[in-house]
């Protein structure tokens, strides 16, 4: 009887693992758009080397006075920060003009020791450069590729570190990068902008299920 019970437990364990393996991945998605609670704002002025910048809720066009200028648009979450701690990638669907050679993506995060309400410069940025291509529309960026730029540590006179917390994201900016020509029209259309991650709920359920089976198996063995 006990041998049959152990066989049943083994079959149930194998069946549970098989179900987990063949289950489709469950995605968590958090998209950014000009919805209620999201403030859209332009980035760039003449002091930062930008001739002009025009924005809509999902696009920008601008021109640089010099190649060191950066322009674009930002999305600020007015109803509180968003938790992207369980996300693993940023998916962008974009349309760019041929003159736009580089795109800079900047995730604005809360630094518990430095960030102050109303002080944009105290927000810890995580950035990633992308080579723009008018023939490419989809860009997938692992969030591990983002980094805190050296200038941010210098501005705040703090020691450089690799802390990258995505549990409190205050906004995101999509900008022209540092490799774009001056006096040329730079245009970018954002068709979608989403953070994505694979849910670990099925794996947690599998672990609990296997642990229960192991507990039953140990109980059977003890009684022998």
Which pLDDT score, from 0 to 100, does residue 145 have?
Answer: 94
Residue 126 is encoded by which pair of tokens?
């995580």
d(CA 127, CA 147): 5
Q: What is the pLDDT of residue 201?
A: 59
pLDDT at 36: 73
The 3-state secondary structure of 38-69, one letter per residue: EEEEEECCHHHCEEEEEEECCEEEEEECCCCC
Low-confidence ranges of the chain (pLDDT < 70): 1-26, 199-210, 213-224
Instruction: Please tell me the predicted confidence (pLDDT) of residue 18.
Output: 63
> From CA 157, how far away is CA 21, in angstroms rounded?
49
The pLDDT tens digits for 80-89 are: 889 999 899 9
Residue 27 confidence (pLDDT): 75
Question: CATH fold of 28-198, please?
Answer: Jelly Rolls (2.60.120)
CA distance 161 to 188: 32
Q: What pLDDT does 44 receive?
A: 86
pLDDT of residue 68: 85
Sorted by sequence, the CB contacts under 8 Å of residue 187 that are 6+ apart come out as 59, 60, 61, 96, 97, 99, 100
The pLDDT value given to residue 205: 64
> Which pLDDT does position 118 carry in this prediction?
73
Ramachandran area for residue 37 (φ above 0: left; ψ -120 to 50: alpha; else beta) = left
The whole-number pLDDT of residue 131 equals 94
| Predicted pLDDT at 143 | 95
- Looking at residue 174, its pLDDT comes to 96
pLDDT of 147 reads: 94
pLDDT in tens, 126-140: 999 999 999 999 999
Residues near 173 by beta carbon (within 8 Å), at least 6 away in sequence:
43, 72, 73, 74, 75, 104, 105, 106, 108
pLDDT reported for residue 5: 61
């Amino acid at each position: 009887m006990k041998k049959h019970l152990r066989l049943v437990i083994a079959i149930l364990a194998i069946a549970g693992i098989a179900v987990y393996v063949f289950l489709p991945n469950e995605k968590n998605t958090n998209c950014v758009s000009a919805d209620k609670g999201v403030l859209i704002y332009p980035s760039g002025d003449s002091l930062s080397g930008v001739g002009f910048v025009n924005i809509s809720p999902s696009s920008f066009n601008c021109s640089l006075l010099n190649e060191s200028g950066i322009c674009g648009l930002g999305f600020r979450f007015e109803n509180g920060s968003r938790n992207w701690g369980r996300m693993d990638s940023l998916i962008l669907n974009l349309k760019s003009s041929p003159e736009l050679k580089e795109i800079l993506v900047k995730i604005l995060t809360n630094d518990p020791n430095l960030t102050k309400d109303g002080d944009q410069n105290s927000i810890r940025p995580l950035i990633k450069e992308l080579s723009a291509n008018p023939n490419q529309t989809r860009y997938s960026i692992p969030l591990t590729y983002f980094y805190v730029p050296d200038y941010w540590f210098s501005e705040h006179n703090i020691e450089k570190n690799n802390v990258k917390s995505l549990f409190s994201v205050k906004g995101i900016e999509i900008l022209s990068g540092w490799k774009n020509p001056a006096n040329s029209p730079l245009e970018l259309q954002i068709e979608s902008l989403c953070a994505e991650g694979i849910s670990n709920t099925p794996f947690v359920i599998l672990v609990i299920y296997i642990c229960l089976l192991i507990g039953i198996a140990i109980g059977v063995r003890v009684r022998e």
